[in-house]
Amino acid sequence: MPVYCYENKSGDVIEKVFPIDHIHPKGFKFHGQWYSRSLQAEGVNTPSASGWPIECIGSGVHPDDAGALRQCFNDAGVPTEVSNDGNPIYKNSRHRKAALKCRGLHDKASYS
């Protein structure tokens, strides 16, 4: 079952567990204080305020294959930084599109 983190204005964090088929709340009141979902506390990778650069977990590889992914990008003429975790780091939407294309990947939700 997934664990979700919620944080109040004071920075106190509560972990809540919900069944997979249950819709988790965006926030709730607990002991008179409002708690909102905290992606930072969950360790979820969110893009910066400007949105770029982004570390893409969805198109990442196993950490042992990070070097091969770097080489793949260089061979295709799309030099791309790859984190130690094996996730590519895209500089902008054009760079992301080219890097995905060189690997035969396509993001249906990219709208470009």
Residue 55: Cβ-neighbour burial (10 angstroms; 0-12, 13-18, 19+): middle
Query: What single letter denotes the amino acid at residue 80?
Result: T
| Contact (CB, 8 A) for 59 and 88 | yes
Q: Is the dihedral of CA 109, 83, 66, 71 positive or negative?
A: positive
Is the entire prediction scored with pTM above 0.85? Answer: no
Measured distance CA(87)–CA(60) in Å, rounded: 4
For 45, the token pair is: 């990778």
> Higher model confidence: residue 65 or residue 44?
65
Reported confidence tier of residue 18, pLDDT bands at 50, 70, 90:
confident
Most confident of 8-22, 47-61, 77-91: 77-91
Q: Give how far the C-alpha of residue 32 lies from the chain's centroid of Cα atoms, to the nearest Å.
A: 32
> Higher model confidence: residue 109 or residue 39?
39
Q: What is the residue extent of each domain of the chain?
A: 3-42, 54-102
